[in-house]
Amino acid sequence: MMSLPRPIAKPLAAVGLEGATLAPYLALSLWVGLLLLLRSPLQSLMPHDEGWYAQQARWIVETGDWVTQQWWGAPVYDRMMGLQWLIAAAYKLFGVSEGSARLPGAIACWAAVLLTYGIGRRCLTPKIGFWGAAILAATPIWMQASRLAIQDVPLTALELLGIWALLQAEDQPRRRLGWGLLAGITVGLGFMLKSVMVIPVMLALGPYLVMDHRRHRHLLNPALYLGLGVGMVPAIAWLALSVDRYGWLPIQGNFSHLVNLAEEDFHGVGPLYYFWNIPLNAFPWPLLALPGVWMGWQSPYRRKWLWLGYPIALFVLLTLFKTRTWYYPLQLLPFGALLAALTLTTLGKAYTSRFRARQGLIRGLTLTLSAVGTVLMVAGLVALLRPQWIPLEGAWRYALVAIAAGLGWWVPLWAYSRDRQRAAARLSPTLWQAGWLLGPWGAIALLYATGLWGNYNPDVKTAMVTPPLQPIVASNPVNAVFNSVGAGDEDSVLLTFYTPHPGIATNDWRTLASGSYAWITPVDAQGLPPGTPRLGQVRDWVLVQIP
């Protein structure tokens, strides 16, 4: 059998894979793809921001207007239009549904995992890059966000593509113009997705661009600046067409909103929010990423201003930004996964070491993981066998998640026990390392399969497809009366998306035609004439027939 060339075989051997150079990418695609394909048959949207983007894209398809950013017919222009275009394109191909709305995020997740491997193998080693990409696909908050119709996962994928292009330009000087063009384009497209929120990313890349400039010369690459201009074309064209229709409203709406976010903490979470939120949502990988920062600084690997300086700088910038949310730090997670992979790879070396201190560390970590796994298994079995002891609706779903995580975290103990019976020369840390990932991966799989992730508001969707509402809303336009509650109310966003034929919005029911149907709050319904038919209720909204 023909052997592979050494430049190809060596990186693959480093990650324990044989065969073609596509093998790591295929393995990672399978690893993350299985999760992305898993889903409960019952799906429903979150109201903000998922329902907002999904419904705006639906109006694009229904009206054929790809310029106006609207809500119930009124131009709103409080964010950029990139994601709505992507979702609308998915609707065109596959029809209007939750799955179509979430498709851009799922594709972006898959791309980001592969790009994380590509960046990791160039900045660190193929093995670390492989583990880092696999860890990203086993990071809870990243995978949850990847099946939501929100901006941040596609934005992160674009950022990773730009960074990967810069590395390609550095490694292939003869093609630096093409790669520089691609890197610049990603910035412009990122602006179309999330406006000036791409600026922190550009600032965080500053240390790499400036401190390593003597080596890569990116700032002297004219194609980089040309790419910036080309990438801005969609955003500039959309804003120009919008201004032509609505005056300065699109400019004022987009940028005043961002200025307000920068000046005021709308969520009131405080400056230390990311210090506890990231470790909690991405558990357990931030616990490995922290020692990875120290080890990375001490390591001989090149481009530290990129793979180490960039995430640190971006974390500082996001912390200084007044408005803090759970989804802004998603941009940090690919590099956090690489730092966690650096720690996991180092632990793999300690796994085969004969030094007593390192053996003690491995033994302690193994027992800790198995103890956590045992607690999760016991809790899950109790919830399954004695559900009356746990006053939680759908406790069996959480039980399955806990059991899956517990089983995965027993794997390191099994691997460790098996390997301790072997000769030292035959010790292999691969299965022990993989066990770290199997716990989170299994939990994520069950979160998808049980609908805990993906079916967020089943009551609203169910009400629309069952009597008494179903025969009415299926065949009639339904209007909305926004008086005591604004059009952006969370429940009204869901009602809008799940209403098959939205009519018009008004703040006075008297402007609606007699005999038409409308959603109205109970407070506003008090002004209706006595005897007005009330045909059904969904949460705090009542469906009435206008007298």
pLDDT of residue 7: 39
Rg (CA), the chain: 26
284 in a structural domain: yes
pLDDT of residue 265: 67
Domain residues for the domain of 479 are 458-545
How many helices and strands (H and E) does the chain possess? 27, 7
450 in a structural domain: no
Between the CA of residue 423 and those of 412, 428, 544, what are the distances in Å?
Answer: 18, 11, 77
Residue 456 near residue 44, CB atoms below 8 Å: yes
Mean pLDDT of 409-434: 84
Helix (H, G, I), strand (E, B) or coil at 430: helix
pLDDT of residue 243: 95
Number of domains in the chain: 3
Helix ranges, 409-519 (H): 411-419, 430-449, 458-464, 470-473, 490-498
Based on the fold, state whether residues 25 and 104 are members of the same structural domain. Answer: yes
Work out the percent of the chain whose per-residue pLDDT is above 90. 76
Based on the fold, state whether residues 363 and 327 are members of the same structural domain. Answer: no
Last residue of a domain, one of 319, 343, 367: 343
Residue 264 DSSP label: S
Residue with the two structure tokens 């160039």: 122
Lowest mean pLDDT among 65-79, 414-428, 500-514, 524-538: 414-428
Based on the fold, state whether residues 99 and 212 are members of the same structural domain. Answer: yes
Based on the fold, state whether residues 398 and 288 are members of the same structural domain. Answer: no
pTM score > 0.85 for this model? yes
Based on the fold, state whether residues 211 and 126 are members of the same structural domain. Answer: yes
Last residue of a domain, one of 427, 444, 468: 427
Residues 173-225 have pLDDT tens digits of 999 999 999 999 999 999 999 988 899 999 999 999 999 999 999 999 999 99
Based on the fold, state whether residues 374 and 508 are members of the same structural domain. Answer: no
119 in a structural domain: yes
Residues 57-109 have pLDDT tens digits of 999 999 999 999 999 999 999 889 999 999 999 999 999 999 999 999 999 99
Based on the fold, state whether residues 276 and 166 are members of the same structural domain. Answer: yes
pLDDT of residue 545: 94
Q: Which of 328, 197, 205 is nearest to 259 (CA)?
A: 197
pLDDT of residue 16: 40
Mean pLDDT of 510-517: 93
436 in a structural domain: no
The first and second tokens of residue 428, run together, are 């292999």
Whether residue 386 is predicted with pLDDT greater than 90 in this model: the reply is no
Based on the fold, state whether residues 103 and 174 are members of the same structural domain. Answer: yes
Based on the fold, state whether residues 389 and 506 are members of the same structural domain. Answer: no
pLDDT of residue 49: 87
Helix (H, G, I), strand (E, B) or coil at 382: helix
Q: Which of 337, 322, 333 is nearest to 273 (CA)?
A: 322
Based on the fold, state whether residues 338 and 361 are members of the same structural domain. Answer: no
Question: Where is pLDDT greater, at 159 or 390?
Answer: 159
C-alpha to C-alpha distance for 334 and 136, rounded to whole angstroms: 6
Based on the fold, state whether residues 269 and 329 are members of the same structural domain. Answer: yes
Bridge partners of residue 75, in order along the sequence: 70
Question: Where is pLDDT greater, at 126 or 78?
Answer: 126
Whether residue 518 is predicted with pLDDT greater than 80 in this model: the reply is yes
Q: Which helix (H) or strand (E) holds 545?
A: strand 541-545
The first and second tokens of residue 516, run together, are 């038409």
Last residue of a domain, one of 301, 323, 343: 343
416 in a structural domain: yes
pLDDT band at 256 (very low <50, low <70, confident <90, very high): confident
Residue 267 near residue 323, CB atoms below 8 Å: yes
Based on the fold, state whether residues 56 and 194 are members of the same structural domain. Answer: yes
Q: Which of 287, 290, 327, 342 is nearest to 312 (CA)?
A: 290
Residue 163 near residue 208, CB atoms below 8 Å: no
Mean pLDDT of 391-395: 81
Mean pLDDT of 296-321: 93
